A = this chain, B = another copy of it.
Amino acid sequence: MPAPAELLSYIDAHTDAFIARLAEAVAIPSISGDPAFRPSVLKMSEWLDAQLQAVGVTTKRVDLGTHLMDGQTLPLPNAILGRIGTDPAKKTVLLYGHFDVQPAALSDGWDSEPFKLTELPDGRLVGRGSSDDKGPWHHEHKKELPVNLVMCFEGMEENGSEGLDALVERERDGWFKDVDCVCISDNYWLNTRTPALTYGLRGLVYFKLTISGPARDLHSGVFGRTVHEPMTDLIALMGRLVDPAGNILVPGVDDMVSAADLEERAIYEKLDYSIADVESAAGAAIALSDDKTQVLMGRMRLPSLSLHGIEGAFAGPGAKTVIPAKVGGKFSIRLVPPQTPDAVEPLVVSYLESEFAKLGSKNRMELELLHSGKPWVADWKHWNYAAAIKATEAIYNKTPDLTREGGSIPVTLTFAEQLGVNVLLLPMGRGDDGAHSTNEKLDKSNFIEGTKLLGTYLYEIGAVTEVGK
């Protein structure tokens, strides 16, 4: 069941009004990571609530309490829950979005005022939050919908989604009780040309490997070649974690992931992406392989290990002849199913303990897990994805890329695990939107066609005949 033609023509006819409303949203600098802007985040929450009520959404403001930031106790912005319809004969779709944004200032290098939506002649709508994530949830509601809609908007996504996990757990059998599937629009196409649906995210284990020895920093003239130097040990261990081709050297970690079968491999082969795209994004011809499928699988369906830096070593410019007393190497492993932090951590611990023992050093080693998150992969053959594929084909005349993201969107896993339903990531913006960067933009065509796509997706869900979640 495609969307009625009147919906699509209504959206086209109201393009200017949609852009004007997006401009209103962008004008509120709802930076969640800066205490000085907290009043704007609260204002943004109220603004959104009012907008939703104006188009007939039943809403509920949820007080998430307070939190501590930079030594101040600050009120968390209310989450806004919304609902349209309770017809048991219809599927119930949960839409998630966030109304907070990353910091931005003209002095960072923006070409225009970041909190003033600026439309460029080529159709770019430039402004902080245009693409992440104020554009994607601009919807209209004029007539009866083919589904029941449940909405969840939060204002702390850019700062760890504080309070959200507890909210989802609390409302699992409440506001979210009869949700059949989830749709999140908070990521991007793989490129600038082809719409995408995203069905996977990598997880993470982030470690700090500390080697300590002397009681204080030593002078390399006085102590060089007399004592075990912590940096020598640390660099030796960090050098045994990953090889220059990206293979993870911690035994068992790469092995946990089976090779792609032909069907899965075909997904990567079909993706509208080239080595040139990878290298243009990185700004240099440094792809690990000339085989596009291999490079895309490296990002999407393989674990990766990156060495981020060293805390406690000499990091300034110039020459300092120090033997640092205590150095903490930071590295992380991005995980893919069936890997979990619980399964990978002991492999890392036992490998590093064993390699450290081989060094024969008298220094001390300590390994700390700073941060972790599970990976997520959805069943892309589920009716939720089938509906989104049909809708994309109807609006864009293209089969969408089926992608997995290399990074994490923790709320995805929260909804998937807490509600036990299929989650779809349905990006609105293009791969070059620059979400956390200067000159963030959303292309007008993505804004308008993306709005049509979401409407059409709801109609396709309404037409689903499968019973159950």
Contact = CB atoms under 8 A, between A and B. Distances in A.
Contact of A221 (B235, B296, B334): B334
A202 interface: yes
Contacts of A284: 213-215, 227, 362
A208 B287 CA distance: 25
A244 B359 contact: yes
A167 interface: no
B321 A229 contact: no
Interface range on chain A (Cβ under 8 Å from partner): 35 or more
B220 A306 contact: yes
A282 B225 CA distance: 12
A299 B225 CA distance: 6
A308 B228 CA distance: 13
Interface string A280-300: 011111111000000110110
Interface stretch (A96-104, A401-409, A440-448): A401-409
Contacts of A408: 221
Contacts of A320: 308-309, 330
Nearest to A324: B309
A246 interface: yes
A307 B218 contact: no
Given A406-B221, A407-B221, A407-B222, A214 B308 contact: no
19 contacts: A202-B221, A213-B286, A214-B286, A215-B282, A218-B282, A219-B407, A221-B334, A221-B405, A222-B407, A226-B278, A228-B288, A232-B242, A232-B307, A235-B235, A245-B360, A310-B310, A310-B313, A315-B315, A319-B370
